[in-house]
Structure formats: structure tokens, C-alpha cells
Structure 1
């Protein structure tokens, strides 16, 4: 009797799920937006504090390194303290960092406070995604992820526009004050509307050795690549720092595979289909999104002489395309094979990138807008199928750690990809310097060829994704 009346898990996207997803994505939007919004104000901050560009660049680097430290630990923190409590705590920490940044009195203090910001902001996306996946269940995860997954793609596009608008009417402190009302609203709404998740494993021992190897190893690797990309001499110091980071990561791999406890990031997840293929796709997605968002504003400002605000407007079509790609994915994700969606997305990203390998001919702005739109559509078609595939195949108890691993890969792809492209760009700028001003555009074109190479690597991983649509898989299993 009870079996006949049991409606089973919901299959439609209802108001409760949309409300939960909106609240959680608000925090993700705030954190990912902050990663780019400050970039526009680097020159302003350098003037305000009397710092060199090299010194003030640490305002961005410190935030990135803090995020790299926070993401791997988020799975254990959720298991220990519960999802909603962890998410609200991360919002509070992020807001505290924002408040302190607005009150900073020197370059050093601002850098320290950006670390606090990054530790809170780095935990928001993985914890929020895990909570959304739990609330949605396997029947609805694909469609809801396709809706909320566009936010991390919009943030790098909107960041320069919002940052430029703020600096046009207010001083630099509002780059940080703007976070406070958004964060406070998000925290209150989360307490009211997000269902509490009890701790999954209160007795689980924290992986101290893993925490001493993985997050610092990632941070040291990114630091080495970042310093190498600055073009300073001698290059031996950043290379040595990068090698130390690689060594620490190698030691973590050995530790994670041998430990009898639960490692900080369980590498065995990557041996389970389709996690390994999904990992490759997300690494390249991170490199493509953040790597290109590093190159494009620089090209628009240095190569074409645009203001930061004008450069931000020229980036906006990619956000429009990402929203369009999200709509397409939302309507097809249950009926089209993940591999088909992801390969189509990668193909569109590659197509939209081709123009930027031909910058020597000074392409017109209309063609740039079209290419950015195509890139955006492609970006909007990759993340949701990959994350939906992984989350729907994971037990609820493993969702926080799976989300932590996926976000770590996306962060790793973005940070390492950006650092590598910075090194390549600096090398090509030096090589093209004898050509004068035309050499700048050619150096950027040379670097964009590498982003096309990232797409080829992504194809290799995407071909291992399932060939059948989720609806067909469910019909077969049923």
C-alpha cells in the first residue's frame, strides 16, 4: 500500500529547488565575481598605496592562492560540520575579509586581508554545488546544474564591467564594500530556505599530512608559475619554486593512494568512470575560461588601446553566449548524450578562439563580438553535463568530497592555465619586441594558439564520456 502511494523522488524543477539554488548561487556569484572585479582596479590600487605593479599584483595572486588552499579542505569541513553551516560560515569569513580589505591601510595589509577573503570565497562554490546536488537528486541534477552552472562563466565577464563602473563613480574601497549587502542577504536567505544537512562523518579524522602536502603544493606551484610569468630575472628562483610544488603534489599522490583513512582528495575517485573523463574536461574548461579571460582584457587594453570599461563591454558577448548555451543545455541535457554536448561545446570554444590566433590582421570589433558569443555558447554547454554526470552517479554521502575534487580541478585548470599562458605571453612579447607595436598583437596571437591546444586535450577526455543520453540509461536500467 505504501509503495503504491509513494510518489518517489521529485522529477520536476519546483519553486523550492529553484529558491535553494538561487540562494546558493548568490554566494558563488559573489565569490567568483570578486576574483576578477579587483583586476580592473590594480592600477588604481597601485596609485593609492604608492606600490609598484609587481607589488600590487599580489592582491590578485594572494586571493588565488587562498582559494587554492581552501577548495581541497571543503569536503572534510562539510562532513564534519554539515553543509548549510559550512556554507554560511564561508560567507561570514568572506564578508569579514571584504570588510577588512575596504579598511586596508597599506599594500601588505590588503594582501593579508585578501587571503582571508579567498579562504571564505574558495569554499563557497564546492559547498554550494554539493548542497544543490543533494537537494535536486539524480532526476533533476542535470537541469538545475545547467541553470546555476552559468554563474561561474558570467562572473569573469561581468567582473571587469562592474569593476570599471564602480571606479567610474566611487573610490577603490567600493570594490570590497559591494560584497557586504550581497553576502548578508545570501547568509540570511540560506538560514531560512536551505535545508540543514547533518554532518556525514563527525568521527572522520582530518588528513593532516594530506593538508600539509596538497593545498600548499598547489599554492607553491601556482606561485612559481605566476612569478615566472612576471618576466623577472633570474628565472631560476620561480622554476625552483615550481619544482618544489610539483614534488609536494607527487608526495601527496603517494600518500593518498597508500593511506588507510580518508584522504583530503580521494584520488581513487578518478579511476571510476566517468569521473576521470569528467576531470579532464573540467581542467581544460578552467584553463579556457580563466586563461582566455586573462589574455583577452590585456589584448583589448594593450593591443587595441581600449579603456578597462570598454574592454569589459567587449567581453560581455561571451556572457550572453554562456547564458544561451545554458538554455540549450537545460532543454537537451536529459535527451542528448553527455559526450555529444561536451564535444559540441569544445568545438564551439575552439571555433570562437580561432579569430584570436590571427590578430596580426587587426580583426574588426564586429567579428570579435561574434567570436566571443560563439565561445560563450560553447562554455555554457560543458560544465553542466560533466557535473551532472558525476553528481548523479555519486552516493549522497560522497557528494561534498566529489564536489571538492571537481572544483579543485576547475580551480587548478584556471590558475595553472592562466600562469602558463602568462609565461608564454611574456616569452612571445620578448621575442616579438623588435617588431614594435605590431609585435604586441602577434605575441598575443602566438599565445592564443596554446588555448586551441587546450581544446585538443579536452577532446581526448570528452571522447570517454558516455555515448547515451541519461534518459536512455535510466530506461535501460529500469
Structure 2
């Protein structure tokens, strides 16, 4: 793709699909790794002779690093260019993967997971912004509908992949499996992904905002995680300090004369505010359900990680089918219609899980998950398309970072909140474990209703149609 030959206005050609495939490899690698390690927790507990409370930081440390990294993605892409930032993120992620595989103690593994999470947090936001910039507003919706399905598939196939690896190989291969994917993505990107030049106006890094936002989110998620584990003092301290830091960031973002890391005013501008609410709550619903169901399958039904992953697979299949529908209709159907329909399907697919204590059969669970997956594919891509097609190209990296941050934070906070609810209901319902899980799924329904309220404020009309932006030749950064 050359600078003087802009892509056709609406046609998604082979070259654009190739670029999308390359960039989605990075997102797939990062999002898959967030769940693939979960099935190896028991193995890691035995390997390092540590308690469950200690080994859970292998997952929590990665999650906190992702939350800390996402806000900086926009500034990095503005400063160094989209492709260069994306390639650097792949490199950091692979370095963290190699280090994790060579860990000699649980402390070293947690530190290396943080390094891995810093790279993994940058990949989805940077990749989406780069792809939207290459595609241009007229083609963004159709190509994003394909890319957006990856985060929905990863939580489903992560346990399957992890279980398969551990059945034939030692635990370091949970991390080494990233190497061929990452190296292939980097080599292909160097050759085929065009270099989007950095922003013309280089703004200084918002250091004060970074010191408030990323650590504030990390501390807040940490506090919620401690609530789930019943540790009152660190939980209270984490929640108070995290909320105070986020409040301080909001005040700073409104008062600063420079460019804040994430502009709080973005959330007051339609349709960004409604889109942000929808993605925030969708993240809580998707990742919260992916936390609850495997736990229910294994604790109440005695399934292995592999069996639980198989029963979750219909959600991934439904998401894949939904993405095909969205790809064909996103340029013809009003975004709000797609999103509201998707949320209704998610509600319909979630409602049966409130009745787990009635002995819901596997076939009903599989059907409900397929409906949920189909609905989820109809939400993420149209919401991102609304924002990406209505924002200036130079603002895409920061907007993408903000949306991915909200989705990540929604998943983190939603999962932690549902863990607290589940713990409470297990105590109240003991020994009726299915009833406790059923009670907790009423909260998931509540999340979906909040998302529906936000979706009603999305635009009724289709996206604005413009030609794609001119890009720098491949050989330049």
C-alpha cells in the first residue's frame, strides 16, 4: 500500500485482510495467554511448592500489568508510529514469555509475568488503531468485525489449549507456545503492514497522569481482588487509594493545559460515552461469565479443565458465526440496532444460568453459550466502528487505548466483583453450590441491562463514509 494510492472506499481487498490477519495474531497471542495459564495453576503450585494465595499472583500480576500498559498505548503510537509501537510490544511480550519459561521461583515467575503483561497490554489497542488507520472509516466496520471476535474466542479456547499442552509437555510450554506465533507475526508485519507515521504534533508525555491513572487502576483491581480473597485491610486500602488516584487523574485531566493520557472529556462526547459504557459492561459480562462457568463446571460437576473447555466451546463458535453476520451487515444496518440486538441475545443466553440449581443439562448450557457468543459478536465490532469511523485519524491511537482500557478494566472489575458475590452466596447457600452460582448470574444479567441502557444512546444512523488516509510507505517508520 503506497502513499499515493489510497485503498478503495468500501472494498475490503486481499491486502487489507492480510494486514488484519497479521495484526490479529498479536491480539490473539496476548488475549489467549491471559487464560491459557489458568489451567496450569495447580501444576505451578506443585512445581514451586507455594500456596494458592501465592500462585494467584501469576495471573493477577499479568492482569495488573495489562491495566497499567493500556493507557500509554496512544501516546506511544503518536510518538513513535503505530507499526513500530506494535512491533516493540510483540518483542516485550516474547521476552516476557521466554523469561517466564525459565523462571526458577514463584517470585521470578510473577516478575516475568508483569513484563509479559506490559507487552500484552499494548498489543490489542495498538493493533486496532493501526488497522483502523490503514482501513479508513469506510472499511473499518467490516474489518474490525473480524478482529473483534478474537478477544471473545480466547477465553473459550485458552483452557482447551492449556489443557492440551500440559497433557503432552511440561509447564514452560504454556509460555514457549507464544514464540512461533509472535515471531511469525513480527516478520509478517515488517513486510506487509504499512508504517503509519507518528503524529505531526508531538505532545510531551503526561507523566503526572501516568502516575495517577495506571497505578490507580492497578491498585483498584488489586483491592477488589483482595476483597474476593477476604483480606479486609489490604482490600480497604486498595479500594480507597485506587479511587482517590482515579479521582485525582480526572481532576488533572480536566485542568491540564497539555494532552492528558486519557482525556476525561472524551466520555462526555457522543457517541464515545455511550460506546464506552457498553464496552465496559460487556467486558464485565464476558470475562465474568468466563470466570464463573469453568469454576462451576469443575467445583460442582467435577469436570476437568479439558472437559470444561469443551463445554465452553459453543460460545466461541457462536461468536465466530456472529462475526460473519456482522461483517456482512455492519455497513447496511444501524449500529444501535446491531448492538441492542446483540445485548438482547446475551441476556437470553445468560438467563438460563440463573437456574443452575435446577440441574441445567449440558445441551441447554451449550445452546445458551452459543446464543451468548453470537450476541457478543454483535456488540464489540459495531461499538468500535462507531468510534473509529467518527474520530480524526490522528486521534485514533488514544481513542483505541481508551476503549481497550475500559474493556480490560470492565473485565477485571467485573470478575473481581462477581468473585465477591459468589463467595457471599456460597456462604449463604452452603452446601447448595449450584444455587450460589445461579444467584451470582443474576448480577451478570444486571451488567447486561446496564449495557443496554448505554446502547440506547448510540447513533441510529450508519457510519460516516470517507476515503482511507494516506500512509507512509512500508520501508519507513
TM-score by length of 2: 0.95
Would you say 1:215 and 2:214 are equivalent positions?
yes
Would you say 1:360 and 2:357 are equivalent positions?
yes
Q: Deviation of residue 8 (structure 1)?
A: 7.7
Q: Which structure would you say has the larger RCO, counting Cα contacts within 8 Å and 6 or more residues apart?
A: 2
Distance 1:373 1:90 in 2: 33
Matching residue of 1:170: 169
The answer as to whether partners of 2:7 and 2:135 remain within 8 angstroms in 1 is no
Matching residue of 1:156: 155
Distance 1:7 1:239 in 2: 54
- Stretch moving more, 332-341 or 209-218: 332-341
Distance 1:31 1:272 in 2: 30
Secondary structure at the counterpart of residue 51 of structure 1: coil
Distance 1:242 1:465 in 2: 31
The answer as to whether partners of 2:138 and 2:465 remain within 8 angstroms in 1 is no
Q: Deviation of residue 266 (structure 1)?
A: 1.1
Instruction: Identify if the C-alpha distance between structure 1 residues 202 and 302 changes in structure 2 by more than 3 Å, giving closer, same or farther.
Output: same
Matching residue of 2:336: 339
Matching residue of 1:67: 66
Q: Deviation of residue 257 (structure 1)?
A: 0.6
Matching residue of 2:434: 441
Where do 5+ consecutive residues of structure 1 fail to align?
1-5
Q: Deviation of residue 303 (structure 1)?
A: 1.2
Secondary structure at the counterpart of residue 449 of structure 1: helix
Distance 1:172 1:465 in 2: 45
Secondary structure at the counterpart of residue 358 of structure 1: helix
Matching residue of 2:399: 402
Distance 1:90 1:474 in 2: 31
Q: Deviation of residue 231 (structure 1)?
A: 2.6
Matching residue of 1:138: 137
Would you say 1:259 and 2:263 are equivalent positions?
no
Pick from 414, 417, 422 the counterpart of residue 417 of structure 1: 414
Q: Deviation of residue 147 (structure 1)?
A: 1.1
How many pairs does the alignment contain?
463
Q: Deviation of residue 46 (structure 1)?
A: 0.3
Would you say 1:462 and 2:468 are equivalent positions?
no
Q: Deviation of residue 198 (structure 1)?
A: 1.7
Instruction: Identify if the C-alpha distance between structure 1 residues 395 and 103 changes in structure 2 by more than 3 Å, giving closer, same or farther.
Output: same
Q: Deviation of residue 316 (structure 1)?
A: 0.4
Instruction: Identify if the C-alpha distance between structure 1 residues 8 and 154 changes in structure 2 by more than 3 Å, giving closer, same or farther.
Output: closer
Deviations 1:197-237 (A, max 9, x none): 221156311001000000000000000000110134xx233
Matching residue of 1:247: 244
Matching residue of 1:3: none
TM-score by length of 1: 0.95
Distance 2:269 2:130 in 1: 22
Distance 2:200 2:23 in 1: 23
Say what the alpha-carbon RMSD is for the aligned residues: 1.4
Secondary structure at the counterpart of residue 378 of structure 2: coil
The answer as to whether partners of 2:429 and 2:436 remain within 8 angstroms in 1 is yes
Matching residue of 2:80: 81
